[in-house]
Amino acid sequence: MGHFITFEGIDGSGKSTQIALLKRRIEQCGHRCSLTAEPSTGPIGVMIRQCLSGRMKADEKTMAALFASDRLDHLLNETDGILSKINQGIYVICDRYILSSYAYQSVRVSLEWIRQLNSAALDTLRPDCHIFIDIEPETAIERMAKERFHTELFETKERLTEVRNRYLELIGQLKKKENIIIINGNQAIEQISDDIWQNISKFF
Ligand code: ADP
Ligand code: TYD
């Protein structure tokens, strides 16, 4: 059996950067490793991205349901589902999972309902470890401004601060049930990568 590791954090927190570095380390240990992300590249994920860019419109409850459906399809679909990769012994790293729905959607939609919507996914595949990269919203915005021509719907400072606070609150509530590691994302890329490895190298 492979392992399932998820990365969480506000937009621009450095998830993609760290995921690529972690994949390299896992492969150096001789394991197969597959990277994926949510929203997924499947049909529901494509619809979600159209809503995030403003091309399509959907209210917040519909969005919460779409994220939960995309997650199940991402786990279970027969073309490139995560579950079948784990069963083949592949280590899967996913950029965002359950905690993203809890943190982002619960700013406007009831957390209890979001947890119910996502319970099927969590019962199907519980991450061995959720890595939360914690960063100051100002720093995330500065980093993103360097590389992006447009910002998506969620990326305002106020919104990022709200979401970061939700993440920290939720992690406080969930830490007994879930294996969640908080990493200081305000540091240099190499230091963050070393901190992550120190926490999870036991899986490899
Ligand atoms: P995310 O995937 O969470 O949105 P990225 O990994 O794409 O974040 O990082 C956002 C931007 O910040 C990218 O331009 C990336 O090169 C840069 N970046 C990532 N980590 C750091 C870091 N520790 N220090 C400085 N810049 C960083
Ligand atoms: P993503 O492409 O990961 O953005 P970034 O690389 O900038 O971090 O995710 C797109 C947006 O979708 C992001 O703003 C967070 C949001 N999102 C939710 O609101 N709920 C969810 O369940 C997921 C997976 C993502």
Please, is 22 exposed, middle or buried when counting C-beta atoms within 10 Å of its C-beta (0-12, 13-18, 19+)?
Answer: buried
Domain range summary for the chain, segments of one domain joined by +: 4-203
Q: Determine the topology of domain 4-203 in CATH.
A: Rossmann fold (3.40.50)
Which residues are registered as beta bridge partners of 36? Answer: 94
85/122 Cα distance (integer angstroms): 17
Residues in the chain, total: 204
pLDDT over 90 percentage in the chain: 87
Tokens at residue 27, please?
């492969």
Residue 2, pLDDT score: 87
DSSP class of residue 78 equals: T
How open is the CA angle 72-11-57, to the nearest 5 degrees?
A: 60
From residue 151, give the alpha-carbon distance in Å to each of 46, 135, 156: 18, 18, 8
Q: What is the pLDDT of residues 64-101, one digit of tens each?
A: 999 999 999 999 999 999 999 999 999 999 999 999 99
Peptide bond into 137 cis (omega under 30): no
What SS3 state is found at 14? coil
Q: Is the Cβ–Cβ distance between 94 and 3 less than 8 Å?
A: no
Rg (CA), the chain: 16
Q: What is the pLDDT of residues 103-133, one digit of tens each?
A: 999 989 999 999 999 999 999 999 999 999 9
Q: First and final CA of the chain: distance in angstroms?
A: 12
Q: Report the pocket of ligand 2 as residue ranges, CB < 6 Å.
A: 11-12, 15, 38-39, 52, 67, 95-96, 100-101, 104-105, 152, 154
154/160 Cα distance (integer angstroms): 7
Residue 126, pLDDT score: 97
Judged against a pLDDT cut of 70, whether residue 57 lies above it is answered with yes
CA of 11 from ligand 1 middle (Å) equals 9
State the closest ligand 2 atom to the C-alpha of 11, by its place in the atom list counted from 1. Answer: 8
Binned at pLDDT 50, 70 and 90, residue 149 comes out as: low
Which residues are registered as beta bridge partners of 34? Answer: 92
Q: What is the pLDDT of residues 29-52, one digit of tens each?
A: 999 999 999 999 999 999 999 999
Q: Is the Cβ–Cβ distance between 52 and 154 less than 8 Å?
A: yes
Q: Report the pocket of ligand 1 as residue ranges, CB < 6 Å.
A: 9, 11-17, 143-144, 146-147, 188-189, 192
Judged against a pLDDT cut of 70, whether residue 150 lies above it is answered with no
Residue 23, pLDDT score: 98
What's the count of helices (H) and strands (E) in the chain, helices before strands? Answer: 9, 5
Helical (H) or strand (E) element with 6: strand 4-8
What SS3 state is found at 176? coil
CA of 30 from ligand 2 middle (Å) equals 30
